[in-house]
Amino acid sequence: MKVTIVGGGVVGTMHAWQAIQRGHEVVQIERESEARGASLRNFGQIWVSGRAGGEELETALRARELWEEIGARVPALGFRAIGSLTPVRTDLELAVAEAAVARPDAAARGYKLLTPGEARVLNPALRGEFIAALHCERDAAVEPRTAQRALRAELLKSPAYRFLPGREVREVTGAATVRDDHGDIHAADAVVLCTGAWLGGLVRELAGADLPVRRVRLQMMQTDPLGEPLTTSVADGDSFRYYPAYASAALDELNARQPQPKTAADHRMQLLMVQRADGGLTIGDTHEYKHPFAFDTLEDPYEHLTGVVESLLGRPLPKIRRRWAGVYAQCTDSSRVVHRQQVRDGVWLITGPGGRGMTCSPAIAEKTADELGW
């Protein structure tokens, strides 16, 4: 088969990977010289721990297997099976962690509740005060700023793969056929649109204005090297409020009796933190849903996150090297992992994985390939 992939982010690139592995020819088209959206502006977490039970967890676990397999073939991805720790600092947070460990799918996630001493054996950098920590053994990480380049370098070893940057697809001209803004026509057996948070233009024309996907903006930052290993990714108790795996009577009690500080509540914040290959820390994040999004970043959320991190590390945070904002596309139906829609003859739109994109992209692409009979 001939497959045209529109979009150079992680979802599009994983679709290209699946097609090449199955023996097909691929042309991948990207508007920029390289992808510059959410695929680069994330934590690089392969985040199993917070996923909803059922299809979402199954997708994340399958993706975790695929990431490890691909990482073995492409070491430059920086795949690391580091797991995660969520230190808890109050009895109400502890009750949520205990409810999570009692889930019937806790073993599949690798959940275990640790004492502070056990947590510090696993991650000695956590010198701050906490009363317990939720460990998720299945969580992992890759290097988000370089992962797409590493995957593409491997794909380019195949003569069946072509990457066309700096081109925008403008029109569907026939069955599985598109025209780009250079005037070139790309005819194939299947076209897959993996356009990320780009939901206007051609996507709106094809899918309509009532596409069940919204855009979400976040703020993040990265530090200078920490000077010591952070051997797991780290979340805080506020992350319980944002992931469906933690839904329980204990979470209801936490929300009722331990509200977030005003800054955290106003910006819908949680702490997630991962150490990069250079030793720096990627730290976030916030959630903004109201359009139009601000064009600037706000300082209060960064100050809040800095305080949370320093309280867990028990030391000052290294100098902040970068701050940024990003936008991703998220299904408005939270029960759906991704929005997958045939929009024209031979043309499919794949969008809306939300914060699951980096985690689930290999399994999302695998399912597309299976459903389309590649």
DSSP 238-284: GGGGG-GGG-SHHHHHHHHHSPPPHHHHHTT---EEEE-TTS-EEEE
Mean local confidence (pLDDT), 316-340: 95
Q: What pLDDT is recorded for position 36?
A: 87
Q: Which residue has the tokens 């890759």?
A: 142
Question: Which DSSP letter does residue 292 get?
Answer: S
Helical H runs in the chain? 10-21, 55-73, 91-101, 106-109, 116-122, 144-155, 201-207, 249-257, 262-266, 299-313, 357-372
Query: Does the CA dihedral 157-162-164-170 come out positive or negative?
Result: negative
Residue from 313, 339, 117 nearest 223 by CA: 313
Confidence of residue 178 (pLDDT cuts 50, 70, 90): very high
Does residue 167 carry a pLDDT above 90?
yes
Domains of the chain: 1-83+139-212+333-374 (3.50.50.60), 84-137+213-331 (3.30.9.10)
User: Sheet holding 272-275: strands in order across?
Assistant: 111-114, 132-136, 84-88, 233-235, 272-275, 281-284, 213-223, 320-331
When pLDDT is cut at 50, 70 and 90, the band that residue 335 belongs to is confident
Residues 119-149: pLDDT tens digits? 999 999 999 999 999 999 999 999 999 999 9
User: Does the structure show a pLDDT above 90 at 80?
Assistant: yes
Residue 334 confidence (pLDDT): 86
The pTM assigned to this predicted structure is 0.96
pLDDT in tens, 219-228: 999 999 999 9
